[in-house]
Amino acid sequence: MKVLVAYASRLGSTAEVAEFMGEELRRLGAEVDVMPVGEVRRVAPYDAVLVGSGVRHMHWLPEATEFVRVYQDELSRKPVALFLLSMVMSTDTAQHRQEAMRMLEDVRQMVRPVAVGLFGGEVAGRMVPFMSRQQVGLPRSEEHDFRDWEAMRSWVQQVYRQLARLSGHSAADKEVKDE
C-alpha cells in the first residue's frame, strides 16, 4: 500500500508529527511519502492519503484546506484520513473535541474522511495570543508541548488497518504490535 502523508506546519510541530506517522506506517509495511502540501504534485499514485495541519485562528492552515480543495475529486475516490494539532486539544474533553471538529467543518464538506485525529499541539512561547490561551486555561507565554505520541501512534495504527481494508490491500502487511 502506497500512502501519502501531506501536512501544513508553520512552527514545525505538525511536520514532526507527519514524519512520525510516516515512520509508523512504514514500520507497519506501507510505502510512504511525507511532504508539505505545497510540494505535492500528484495524489494519483497513492492508495490512501493522510492530510494534517496545525491550527491557527480556529482553522486548519489555509494551504492545507487549499490542498484538499485542489485535489478534492481524486481524494474523494480514495480513503483519506485527516488530523490536526491544536491548543484546544491540549486537554481532551468532549467540548474541546467538538470545537476541534468545527475547525474541520469546511474540509469535511469536501472529503469524507475515514478517520479524524484531534491532537494537542505545541504551544510556543509568546506566539499564541493570551486571549486564546485563557480560553483553554494556559498561562501566559510559557512553552507547552501537548503532543501525545502514544495516542498518535495508536491512531495511526487504527487508520492503517482501515486504509488497508478500504484501498483493497491486505488488512495488515505486517502485524500491528504495541511496543
Ligand X SMILES: Cc1cc2nc3c(=O)[nH]c(=O)nc-3n(C[C@H](O)[C@H](O)[C@H](O)COP(=O)(O)O)c2cc1C
Using CB under 6 A, list all residues that contact ligand X: 9-14, 54-58, 85-88, 121-123, 127-128, 132
Report the Cα 75 to chain-centroid distance in Å: 15
End-to-end CA distance of the chain: give it in Å, rounded.
Answer: 23
User: Shortest distance, CB of residue 55 to ligand X, whole angstroms?
Assistant: 4
The least CB distance from residue 83 to ligand X, in Å, is 11
Least distance (Å) from ligand X to the CB of residue 171? 32
CB closer to ligand X, 19 vs 74: 19
Q: How far is the CB of 7 from ligand X (least distance, A)?
A: 8
**Whole-number minimum distance, CB 102 to ligand X, in Å?**
11
Helix (H) or strand (E) holding 114: none
* CA-based R_g, the chain, Å: 16
Rounded Cα distance, 1 and 131, in Å: 44
Q: Can you name the residues that pair with 3 across neighbouring β-strands?
A: 32, 48
Specify the residue, 13 or 65, whose C-beta has the smaller distance to ligand X.
Answer: 13
Which residue, 44 or 131, has its beta carbon nearer to ligand X?
131
Choice between 10 and 165, CB closer to ligand X: 10
Beta carbon nearer to ligand X, 89 or 164: 89
- Phi, psi angles (nearest 5°) of residue 113: -70, 145
Q: Strand 31-36 vs strand 2-8: parallel, antiparallel, or unpaired?
A: parallel
